[in-house]
Amino acid sequence: MQYRKMGSLDWEVSALGFGCMRLPTKRFMPLQVDAGTSIKIIRSGIDKGINYVDTAWPYHFGAGERIVGQALKDGYREKVHLATKLPTFFVRKSEDFDSYLERQLEKLQTDYLDVYLFHRMTRGQFEKLKDLQLMDKMIGAKERGKIKHIGFSFHDTLPVFKEIVDYYPWDVVQIQYNYMDTGIQATTDGLRYAYDKGIAVVIMEPVKGGRLANPPAEAREIMAAAKNQRSPVDWALQFVWNRPEVSVVLSGMGSQKMVDENCASADRSGIGKLNDDDLEVINKLIEVYRKRILVPCTACGYCMPCPSGVNIPQNFAILNNVSVEDSRIRRWLVSRGYGKLARSKKQLKEDELNGSAVMCVQCGKCLEKCPQEINIPEELKKVHAIIGKHKKISE
Ligand code: SF4
Ligand code: SF4
């Protein structure tokens, strides 16, 4: 494992952090995390040198923190820096801060957090933070020894990011960054801005919710012709590690294979390790993806559950599957997958969120929840038109 500077803090962080948003599950609705496998792979990652574990209140509808707490028993807690997040979007009054923090410490079976972040900061959440004086609460918790370092995770635009960064001398910021997303959300400018202030930058979504792990044929050909042979995931991760401003890259790992491969990638990582040929390959990959991805959904699941039973990320994954590679066989496979989703309330399964795009009643309840600012109901109309009604993407 390679270790990197954690901003201005006096400890080094593993290049790879364990993101606990995509732990292995047994079924989706009602959600059941595969606790045994989750604990095994988290511990395996720590045994391979990972010393940063990141979770949050809503991960796996609240079960995530409990599993992480179990994984960090038997001496593993002392081996890592543990980060979780205040669910700012659920906070209604100032006192909610203490209530959430206490319950999170209990779930995680620990007396303190190494990093506590305001989760998913946007303009609206930032105004709430100020109105409810939540920063005073954060500082109070730090003075009482409940948290060691203060940060925020971010999903809005660069001007909002700079405003929040300037609001407080933060220890840590967590931003979405990968070779496709250098110009959205915090952007590369925001990454540099935080780094120049000595703030540790934690990267999330380095593989864009798994999208960069499954490249279309055109992108695979580019990788196959490259001087340095790498897997699609390795290309994505090395791009982020190449940057000096990055402290730790979170990967939401859901299997032992992913842990093994990502740890091996981290072993090879380093600042400035990519040469001109490598960067040229990545530029070509960016061009391929830019032409193809229709909906920038990262499958984070924040928009779920939909009251009408629509499986929102699944529908967008289906559409992007076609847009990334619109072949006859891909269309056939995708149409079959779409056809298996429910088209009426009668077909909705109780134990599985299986609604197709056509079940969206355009209520708009999901709109506020999407960190990627996707107009979900509008995009779902496109899913049904292209997959359900076989319209051409150009139409
Ligand atoms: S707009 Fe559609 S997808 Fe969004 S919550 Fe309403 S029914 Fe569900
Ligand atoms: S639509 Fe938005 S909130 Fe829903 S899974 Fe995709 S990125 Fe996440």
- The domains of the chain are located at 3-291, 312-388
The fold of 3-291 is TIM Barrel (3.20.20)
Total H helices, total E strands in the chain: 14, 12
Compute the distance from residue 38 Cα to the ligand 1 centre, in Å.
Answer: 31
Point out the ligand 2 atom lying closest to the alpha carbon of residue 299: 5
| Ligand at shortest distance from the CA of 316 | 2
Is the CB of residue 238 less than 8 Å from the CB of residue 269?
Answer: yes
Would residue 383 be called left, alpha or beta, if left means φ above 0 and alpha means ψ between -120 and 50 degrees? alpha
CB neighbour burial string for 328-364, b if at least 16 within 10 angstroms, e if fewer:
eebbeebeebbeebbbeeeebeeeebbbbbbbbeeee
pLDDT of residue 322: 73
Compute the distance from residue 120 Cα to the ligand 1 centre, in Å.
Answer: 21
Lowest mean pLDDT among 178-187, 298-307, 339-348, 385-394: 385-394
Q: Whose CA is nearest to atom 3 of ligand 2?
A: 370
Question: Does 306 sit in the ligand 1 pocket, CB within 6 Å?
Answer: yes
Question: Does 357 sit in the ligand 1 pocket, CB within 6 Å?
Answer: no
Measured between alpha carbons, how far is 309 from 344 in angstroms, rounded to an integer? 10
Q: How confident is the model at residue 252 (pLDDT cuts 50, 70, 90)?
A: very high
Point out the ligand 2 atom lying closest to the alpha carbon of residue 376: 1
pLDDT of residue 193: 97
Q: Which residue has the higher pLDDT, 78 or 208?
A: 78
In single-letter form, the type of residue at position 137 comes to: K
Question: Does 375 sit in the ligand 1 pocket, CB within 6 Å?
Answer: no
Q: pLDDT averaged over the chain?
A: 91
pLDDT of residue 204: 95
Residue 324 has pLDDT above 70, yes or no: no
Averaged over 241-269, what is the pLDDT? 97
Strands (E), the chain: 3-5, 12-14, 16-19, 25-27, 32-33, 52-54, 81-86, 113-121, 147-154, 172-176, 200-204, 248-252
Pocket test for ligand 1, best of 365, 370, 378, 382 (most atoms within 8 A of CB): 365
Q: Whose CA is nearest to atom 2 of ligand 1?
A: 360
Residue 31 has pLDDT above 80, yes or no: no
Is the CB of residue 152 less than 8 Å from the CB of residue 131?
Answer: no
| Ligand at shortest distance from the CA of 366 | 1
Q: How confident is the model at residue 255 (pLDDT cuts 50, 70, 90)?
A: very high
Question: Does 358 sit in the ligand 1 pocket, CB within 6 Å?
Answer: no
Is the CB of residue 367 less than 8 Å from the CB of residue 380?
Answer: no
Compute the distance from residue 384 Cα to the ligand 1 centre, in Å.
Answer: 14
